[in-house]
């Protein structure tokens, strides 16, 4: 591009126009670009922050890698725990028992996922102990037949620490009238909250030994939970471990156990990006419309330039400079206001 093309293009951008409608359209195009870019930056910042927060909260209550028996309980889990603990990338291993049950209190009934854990080992694979709002997780070890509930689940049942609830398990005994569910009284010794309603309203924790007796597992467990140094290496680590252990075990990493959730979140981010990009595209079309009107308004100037020997390509570059300046100004202002808005959004 020759200097005169840039100079004339910048001169046209700054010059006052006789047609005020063109000035209005130019201002509208810049404003549209500012709003589109600012909204895109602010919304994507919110979505990325939301994604990061949810991942952090999910990782606080779930393990990086889960090992389960393929349809059967894991019996010799103590030996497996010792061996896995010696793997260099593994920072913690803990057994668990998982099953569904109904929890009843004063005529109120709610379903929940019951997890039997060893409080002494659980801190190695998640941060549940830090999410305790009332009581301590270690109380499960010192109090037989005790239970820790999510705060939302406790509100649904109208219970607090010290109350007794009835846990109804589908694994029961066989009677002449059919299968009878197993009922057991538990004392609430703690309440937790991780900030995710699905967990706070649908999870309950009991001692590992109580869970084994309640669900008739003898000394077996549902599986083992593992924590590794870098959670984002979990998919590769799980795949390698699956090859080593073979089909007798079913291994999942945290991205697989919450796959549908993360897919929905990614799709939501993509849809928001596309919608906001369309706003920017509309503003870009306004810039094109502005240039068409400017070209019409400058027909006399164009004729003079052609008489002086300026090529059509150079004339096109003159007006492209004007469009680029309009777009650049709108983008820079949009980035400024978008970043300013993102930095001032309450966390």
Q: Which two tokens stand for residue 9?
A: 């293009």
Alpha helices in the chain, H assignment, sequence order: 3-14, 20-61, 77-85, 119-122, 139-142, 151-157, 197-200, 208-214, 234-245, 254-257, 259-297, 299-307, 312-343
* pLDDT value, residue 347: 65
* pLDDT value, residue 158: 94
Backbone region of residue 227 per phi and psi (left: phi > 0; alpha: psi in -120 to 50; beta: other values): beta
Query: What is the Cα–Cα distance from 105 to 153, expressed in whole angstroms?
Result: 11
Our measurement of the distance from residue 213's CA atom to the centroid of its chain's CA atoms, rounded to an integer in Å, reads 36
Distances from the Cα of 343 to the Cα of 34, 42, 253, 338, 339, angstroms = 17, 9, 34, 9, 6
* pLDDT value, residue 189: 96
Query: What is the Cα–Cα distance from 267 to 261, expressed in whole angstroms?
Result: 10
Query: Which pLDDT tens digit goes with each residue over 207-249?
Result: 999 999 888 888 899 999 999 998 888 999 999 888 888 888 8
* pLDDT value, residue 145: 93
Whether residue 57 is predicted with pLDDT greater than 90 in this model: the reply is no
* pLDDT value, residue 318: 79
| Other C-beta atoms lying within 10 Å of the C-beta of residue 285 | 12
Whether residue 301 is predicted with pLDDT greater than 90 in this model: the reply is no
Distances from the Cα of 316 to the Cα of 77, 286, 305, 313, angstroms = 75, 18, 12, 5
Phi then psi dihedrals of residue 100, to 5 deg: -90, 155
Region 255-278 average pLDDT = 86
Roughly how many angstroms between the first and final C-alpha of the chain, as a whole number? 47
Q: Which residue has the higher pLDDT, 45 or 9?
A: 45
Whether residue 140 is predicted with pLDDT greater than 70 in this model: the reply is yes
Q: What percent of the chain has pLDDT over 70?
A: 91
| Other C-beta atoms lying within 10 Å of the C-beta of residue 219 | 11
Predicted confidence band at 177 (pLDDT cuts at 50, 70, 90)?
low
Q: What percent of the chain has pLDDT over 90?
A: 33
Predicted confidence band at 200 (pLDDT cuts at 50, 70, 90)?
very high
* pLDDT value, residue 96: 94
Predicted confidence band at 288 (pLDDT cuts at 50, 70, 90)?
confident
Domain ranges of the chain: 3-53+263-343, 64-255
Q: What's the mean per-residue pLDDT of the chain? A: 85
Query: Which pLDDT tens digit goes with each residue over 85-102?
Result: 888 889 999 999 999 999
Whether residue 1 is predicted with pLDDT greater than 60 in this model: the reply is no
Query: Which pLDDT tens digit goes with each residue over 61-80?
Result: 788 999 998 878 888 888 88
Q: Which residue has the higher pLDDT, 93 or 28?
A: 93
CA 12, 14, 20, 24 torsion: positive or negative?
positive
* pLDDT value, residue 344: 85
Query: What is the Cα–Cα distance from 345 to 347, expressed in whole angstroms?
Result: 6
* pLDDT value, residue 320: 83
The answer to pTM > 0.85 is no
Query: What is the Cα–Cα distance from 187 to 194, expressed in whole angstroms?
Result: 21
């Amino acid at each position: 591009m020759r200097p005169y093309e840039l100079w004339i293009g910048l001169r046209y951008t700054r010059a006052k126009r006789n047609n005020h409608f063109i000035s209005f359209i130019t201002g509208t195009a810049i404003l549209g670009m500012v709003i589109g870019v600012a909204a895109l930056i602010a919304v994507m910042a919110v979505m990325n922050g939301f994604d990061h927060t949810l991942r952090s909260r999910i990782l606080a209550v779930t393990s990086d890698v889960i090992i389960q028996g393929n349809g059967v309980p894991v019996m010799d889990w103590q030996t497996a725990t010792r061996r896995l603990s010696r793997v260099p990338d593994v920072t913690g291993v803990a057994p668990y028992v998982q099953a569904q049950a109904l929890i009843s209190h004063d005529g109120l009934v709610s379903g929940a996922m019951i997890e039997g854990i060893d409080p002494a080992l659980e801190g190695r694979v998640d941060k549940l102990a830090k999410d305790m709002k009332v009581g301590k997780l270690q109380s499960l070890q010192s109090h037989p037949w005790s239970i820790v509930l999510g705060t939302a689940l406790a509100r649904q049942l109208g219970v607090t620490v010290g109350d007794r609830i009835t846990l109804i398990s589908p694994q029961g005994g066989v009677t002449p009238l059919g299968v009878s569910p197993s009922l057991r009284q538990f004392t609430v010794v703690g309440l937790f909250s991780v900030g995710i309603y699905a967990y706070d309203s649908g999870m309950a924790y009991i001692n590992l030994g109580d869970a084994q007796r309640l669900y008739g597992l003898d000394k077996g467990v549902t599986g083992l939970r593992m924590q590794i140094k870098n959670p984002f290496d979990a998919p590769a680590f799980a795949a390698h471990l699956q090859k080593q252990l073979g089909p007798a075990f079913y291994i999942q990493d945290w991205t697989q156990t919450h796959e549908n959730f993360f897919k929905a979140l990614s799709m939501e981010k993509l849809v928001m990006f596309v919608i906001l990009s369309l706003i920017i595209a509309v503003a870009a079309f306004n810039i094109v419309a502005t240039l068409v009107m400017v070209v019409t308004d400058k027909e006399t100037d164009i004729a003079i330039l052609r008489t002086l020997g300026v090529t059509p390509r150079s004339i096109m570059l003159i007006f492209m400079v004007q469009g680029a300046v309009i777009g650049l100004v709108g983008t820079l202002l949009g980035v400024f206001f978008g970043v300013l808005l993102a930095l001032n959004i309450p966390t």
